[in-house]
Amino acid sequence: MATEKKILLITGGNTGLGFEAVKALCESQKAYEIIIGCRTVSKGDDAIAKIKKLVPQTASTLNTVQVDLESDESLERAVAEISSKYGRLDVLINNGGGSFDYEILQGRMSLREGFNASWNVNVTGTHILTTLAVPLLLKSSDPRLIFIASGTATLTETERSDTPALQRINASPPAGWPKQAIGMSTTAYRSSKTGLNMLMREWRRTLLNDGVKVWAVSPGFLATGLAGVGAEKLKQMGALDPSVGGNFLKDVVEGKRDHDEGKVIRKDMIQPY
């Protein structure tokens, strides 16, 4: 299907940060062909219906495709469907991800299960989808590849505790064993997101001479359902509305951070590795 609109795939676009990014793009004066990738197509359809009510005047077009980051077959089908329908991809936002530390803490997952799930969804599945989608990106005149980073993943800031947020994730528990959980338990999540930073750098190296612009976007501490503790509790801890991150992502798509390409970026700075 020939179209002058930018064709954009965003995984996990039916909820949280992904939903807000889709909404922000629909509010833009620019028109997009937005493909929401999610595990359950009906949830993507529900998100589209909601956005059409919120932004009825949008010039963008919305569709959904089934994307399960834990299934190679799902990813292969999704990319084949996009290739058949559109023939190219201008923007890939690797937003889909998971946090399983709370499942470990509650005993619903073993330590191995939780760590493997964190890496499988946040790193491995993302890498496989990107690998499959690159040939479509290379058909774009302005290809953009975005990974969703985390402020918890920076190695440099593990040595800091000068803000409440850093105190929560970096504080050391009292001596003795077993350790009691303090603050937020994010070991599996932040380890996988640190790995994702390297994945972004590897893709930037790989695609540098192809003209693909690559970023890891660190959207900030947002009140989404990702941590498994509830949006309201996160807001009480200082989390911002997910729309803040959604508008930030739109700005990156629309070129406002092109000068920071190849970096892990926050809204107002480069995030240290």
Q: What would the pLDDT profile of 8-26 be if each residue is shown by its tens digit?
A: 999 999 999 999 999 999 9
* Residues 6 or more apart in contact with residue 89 via CB below 8 angstroms: 7, 8, 9, 82, 133, 136, 137, 139, 140, 143
Q: What is the pLDDT of residue 224?
A: 76
| Residue 174 DSSP class | P
Separation between Cα atoms, residue 130 and residue 143, nearest integer Å: 12
The pLDDT assigned to 57 comes to 96
> pLDDT grade, residue 230 (50/70/90)?
low
pLDDT for 68: 98
**Residue-number span of the structural domain to which 88 is assigned:** 6-156+189-270
Residue ranges in 55-125 assigned as alpha helix (H): 72-86, 101-105, 111-119
Kindly state the greatest CA–CA separation across the chain.
64
Asked if 273 is an active-site residue, the reply is: no
Residue 1 forms part of a structural domain:
no
Q: Residue 182 falls within a domain, yes or no?
A: no
Q: What is the pLDDT of residue 110?
A: 96
- pLDDT (0 to 100) of residue 220: 80
Question: Does residue 168 form part of some domain?
Answer: no
Whether 183 shows a pLDDT value over 80: the answer reads no
Of 221, 210, 226, 214, nearest in space to 252 by CA = 214
Q: Is the pLDDT of residue 226 over 70?
A: no
Tell me the pairing of strands 91-94 and 144-148.
parallel
Count of the separate structural domains present in the chain: 1
Instruction: Among 173-182, 191-200, 208-217, name the one with the lowest average pLDDT.
Output: 173-182
In the prediction, which pLDDT does 137 show?
Answer: 98
User: Would you call 150 a catalytic residue per the annotation?
Assistant: yes
Structure tokens that stand for 205 in this block: 């190296």
Average pLDDT, the chain: 93
What percent of the chain stands above pLDDT 90?
81
Whether 87 maps to a domain, the answer reads: yes
Q: Report the candidate in 9, 181, 195 with the shortest Cα–Cα distance to residue 88.
A: 9
Sign of the CA dihedral running 211, 138, 245, 129? negative
pLDDT tens by residue, 153-175: 999 999 999 988 888 889 888 99
Percent with pLDDT over 70 in the chain? 92
206: confidence class by pLDDT, cuts 50, 70, 90? very high
Q: Label residue 228 by pLDDT band (50, 70, 90).
A: low
CATH value at residue 60: 3.40.50.720
**44-86 pLDDT per residue, tens:** 999 999 999 999 999 999 999 999 999 999 999 999 999 999 9
Check 60, 99, 118, 150 and give the catalytic one. 150
Confidence of residue 180 (pLDDT cuts 50, 70, 90): confident
Domain contains 12? yes
pTM of the model: 0.94
Catalytic residue among 32, 99, 102, 193: 193
Distance CA 84, CA 32 (A): 18
Positive or negative, the CA dihedral 155, 157, 160, 161 is negative
- Of these residues, 6, 99, 189, 191, which one is catalytic? 189
Residue 67 makes CB contacts below 8 A (sequence gap 6+) with: 11, 37, 38, 39, 74, 75, 78, 96, 129
* Catalytic status, residue 60: no
